[in-house]
Structure 1
Amino acid sequence: MKRTVEPKVLYFGTPVVLISTRNPDGSTNLAPMSSAWWLGYHAMLGMGTSAQTVKNLVDRPEIALNLVDPAMVAALDRIALLTGSEEMSDAKRARGYRYEPDKFAAAGLSRTTGALTGLDLVAESPITMEGRIEAIHQIGAADNHLCALAMKVEQVQVEEDLLMSNDRYIDPLAWDPLIMKFTEYFAGGVPAYESSLARGWEMPKLNVAG
């Protein structure tokens, strides 16, 4: 029997992405997020409007998406509660967020330069997509402070061992994305790492057998 409930978050499971954007001083901000989906060569990204990523994209629409595989989960979690904005809401601060201008160093990730955008990309990422934000849409009432960013993907780079014989296809058996599901990390359908974000959201501990 189904019950009518009001979940704290609606986070049914999407791939984790590290977003590269350009700060006002020309440096690259790196931000983890997991509200992303693709249709053709377009991506829709859901974020809070107070994020430094969104502030950057309003004025500088160049963007790169660095997809994350399970081997990167520890690095990702090291920056899960870091922000590139010195200003943050009380709610965000209460969840344990703190300001960090160099999230590449904090994560222990390496930089490479995007050929299309000139942004710093994550060298360890097996799939990267560069492009531009074409539109930013408010989600719900203004006081929700949420938005959807429409990205046009203009260049895709993929590690060779993820490609099938025809370079137009990525092998779905070889590509295993890290998934964020209700603020917890999953790979191959099982928990992949203890999530700092889940603790910040005060989510119940997972009951993992064994």
Structure 2
Amino acid sequence: MLGLQTASQTPQNMMRTGECVLNLPTVHQVDAVDRLARLTGSREIPNFKKQLGYDYEPSKFEVAGLTPIPSRTVAAPRALECPIQLEAVLAERHDIMADDPQVAGLLSAFEVRITRVHVLPSLLMEGHENRIDPAKWQPLIMNFQKFYGVSNVEAAPSRLAQIEESKYRMPDVDRARVAAPQGVC
């Protein structure tokens, strides 16, 4: 589930094409992400975004210093430098606060179905071909408009971790893995 402001270009593209790629950066890519902060791919910038200082930029990959590479299951490109890339199709759009006339149509939750997962092999847990090692993965997180990383130290063991992960697996995982080339989960 992705919560997005529908006036932004990303959700507009998702609604138009029914596809997207989620490029997941690390804490080491904070500068690339921040260079995109007040840019939009929409030629016509909505007034509220103009007031916030947004500018039109059609070449966001170049501005961020990222390299676009082809996806395998969707048309949208992936960012080579991001260690995790999720190709996805739009399953459903759910409007948020649709009963409020001031907000109706402005916010939506987008339910996406992952069609292919690309993971840098160095992030995988030893002995598991499809499990990311949380001690190795340092995602960039935005928390109340500020960037944060996560610690690689486990706060406490979880009894849920004692359950074999495959017991939770949905059939989409196996479908997305069909014919995946080496180095792709």
TM range (shorter): 0.7 to 0.9
- Aligned partners of 2:73, 2:101: CA distance in 1, in Å? 33
Counterpart amino acid of residue 129 in structure 2: D
Q: Which SS does the other structure have where 1:57 is aligned?
A: helix
User: What do the CA deviations read for 1:13-58 (whole angstroms, capped 9, x no partner)?
Assistant: xxxxxxxxxxxxxxxxxxxxxxxxxxxxxxx001111111121222
Q: What is the aligned counterpart of 1:187 among 140, 149, 165?
A: 149
Contact 1:134 1:150 in 2 (8 A): yes
- Aligned partners of 1:119, 1:53: CA distance in 2, in Å? 11
Equivalences for 1:107-126 in 2 at 5 Å?
Answer: 107-126=64-83
Equivalences for 1:96-111 in 2 at 5 Å?
Answer: 96-111=53-68
Give the alignment's TM-score, normalised by structure 2.
Answer: 0.75
RMSD: 1.3
Counterpart amino acid of residue 172 in structure 1: P
Q: Which SS does the other structure have where 2:131 is aligned?
A: coil
1:142 deviation in Å?
4.9
Match of 2:38 in 1: 81
Q: Which runs of 5+ in 2 are unaligned?
A: 152-185
Contact 1:114 1:121 in 2 (8 A): yes
Please identify which structure carries the higher strand content: 1
User: What do the CA deviations read for 1:103-159 (whole angstroms, capped 9, x no partner)?
Assistant: 001111111111111321100000011120011111003532111100001111100
- Aligned partners of 1:118, 1:85: CA distance in 2, in Å? 19
Counterpart amino acid of residue 148 in structure 1: A
1:163 deviation in Å?
0.3
1:87 deviation in Å?
2.1
Contact 2:92 2:112 in 1 (8 A): yes
Q: Which moved more, 1:55-64 or 1:166-175?
A: 55-64
- Aligned partners of 2:141, 2:15: CA distance in 1, in Å? 27
**In the alignment, does 2:135 pair up with 1:135?**
no
Identity of aligned residues (%): 37
Counterpart amino acid of residue 146 in structure 1: L
| Pair 142,84 (structure 1): closer, same or farther in 2 beyond 3 Å | farther
Match of 1:170 in 2: 132
Counterpart amino acid of residue 93 in structure 2: I
Contact 1:51 1:85 in 2 (8 A): yes
1:90 deviation in Å?
2.1
Q: Which runs of 5+ in 1 are unaligned?
A: 1-43, 190-210
**Bigger Rg, structure 1 or 2:** 2
Match of 1:59 in 2: 16
1:168 deviation in Å?
1.8
Please identify which structure carries the higher helix content: 2
Q: Which SS does the other structure have where 2:28 is aligned?
A: helix
Give the alignment's TM-score, normalised by structure 1.
Answer: 0.66
Contact 2:72 2:116 in 1 (8 A): no
- Aligned partners of 2:145, 2:80: CA distance in 1, in Å? 25
